Chain A
């Protein structure tokens, strides 16, 4: 988030990759791609490529993390060493442990954790290629994987970012906009109620811009929600 930049990220209302400010990148979602997971999803969002796998509900380890009255969601977000330009050191770092934590918190709001006392639901998200907006993409993939695993939940949660580049509020930042833009605002909502389960803000927005960014991100989430539904209908609908 460099803030000021000479780079022209938006020209005559068209962004570097040819999108309008309120347009999200192309999204492809496939449910049920991993044989050994209880539920899984592969998601391509622009140049982001992500696999999500869900395991469980199963006995919670370590035992001291068990809750006697409900399950816990143990999300794990990792980036492959080859997912970014400079090789990333594998394993959990400060950033990925933060994302894992907030994603776990968000999913505990929608998954019916009270149905599985003492259990753990593991959600693994692996970023294979990163091009800005991977936390949103990973959450979206994980939602589809959770539904695919047959885990009872109140709704699926789509996540989409918005932000500000060259003083224009835009939805779904790409790599250049993320690096040289002025603000980045990832948002995840529960579509049926409009509740916010994840909201972060990096950079500066005026109150008016914030409202606009929230509206754009929300409509981005709703676009995404339709695609998530289509992916699951594609896997399970069709024949019957």
Chain B
């Protein structure tokens, strides 16, 4: 996913409908027509180990089972919460997946509109609807802190190679940061530190395609 990992393969910008000159099998961001493969989105094509993929540059988050995301409550029902995760549809959080003992109709006492949680996607069905769960690992409600939204395609840049980028930001700003695969990022700490970390994350999002990003971020955080 990250820029570095694909340095040995061919990588170029493609636009929807572009014909791919390849013998590899089609993967993501690709459609077949008359036995030939074309790109379906604006992105970078990567032809590697027998598969050709197009990594889209933009686009909404498409949920995958097992992804850890940050979700924001958008609506409360008598036994469910409808959670915004930046996908095409709101996600459902059923009370039985919340870990709390919720009396019928009393959901808003536990999570009201605007509250955020760190959750895992545990089910995605063919029709595109999905459910999240708070019963896994470290899933919980997020209390203080702030949430920054970035393009889900830039999440890997914020994390960096083996987490190098995010470790730098965490250490330099003394903040707690949790990155959802959906591009929602939770930052907690002292006021000024939060805004510095937020600035860094937003800069990565804006300049995700530029080189030497780690150095730029280090420079920003030194100030």
> Residues of A with Cβ closer than 8 Å to B?
38-39, 56-59, 68, 112, 116-119, 147-156, 190-192, 229, 232-233, 236-240
Contact = CB atoms under 8 A, between A and B. Distances in A.
A240 B44 contact: yes
B127 A153 contact: no
B58 A38 contact: yes
Contacts, number: 91
A156 B14 CA distance: 12
A152 B58 contact: no
B41 interface: yes
24 contacts: A56-B88, A68-B127, A112-B31, A116-B88, A118-B128, A147-B16, A147-B42, A150-B43, A150-B58, A150-B153, A152-B29, A152-B31, A152-B40, A153-B17, A154-B33, A154-B40, A192-B17, A232-B42, A233-B13, A236-B209, A240-B3, A240-B11, A240-B44, A240-B211
A239 B210 contact: yes
B128 A119 contact: yes
B105 interface: no
A150 B152 CA distance: 12
A68 B15 CA distance: 29
Contacts of A149: 58-59
B127 A117 contact: yes
Nearest to A120: B88
A59 B17 contact: no
Residue of A58, A229, A232, A240 with most partner-chain B CB within 10 A: A240
A58 B57 contact: no
Given A149-B58, A150-B42, A150-B57, A57 B15 contact: no
Given A117-B126, A156-B17, 9 more contacts: A59-B90, A119-B89, A119-B128, A149-B58, A150-B41, A152-B41, A191-B17, A229-B15, A238-B209
Interface string B18-46: 01000000000101010000101111100
Given A58-B89, A150-B59, A155 B42 contact: no
Nearest to B58: A150
Nearest to B13: A237
Nearest to A39: B58
Interface string B49-84: 000000011111000000000000000000000000
Given A39-B58, A116-B128, A154 B38 contact: yes
Task: Determine the main DSSP class of B at the interface with A.
Answer: loop
A154 B16 contact: yes
The 4 closest A-B pairs by CB, nearest first: A150-B59, A155-B17, A150-B58, A152-B40
B186 to A, nearest CB: 22
A224 to B, nearest CB: 14
A190 B3 CA distance: 32
A135 to B, nearest CB: 22
A239 B16 contact: no
A38 B87 CA distance: 12
- Counting chain B CB atoms within 10 Å of each CB, the highest count among A38, A154, A236 belongs to A236
B146 to A, nearest CB: 19
Nearest to A191: B17
Given A38-B58, A118-B128, A239-B209, A112 B40 contact: yes
A150 B43 CA distance: 8
A58 B126 CA distance: 16
B81 to A, nearest CB: 16
A38 B59 CA distance: 7
Interface in B206-223: 209-211
A59 to B, nearest CB: 5
Contacts of A59: 88-90
Contacts of B42: 147-148, 150, 232, 236
A229 B29 CA distance: 18
A103 B170 CA distance: 48
A67 to B, nearest CB: 11
B205 to A, nearest CB: 13
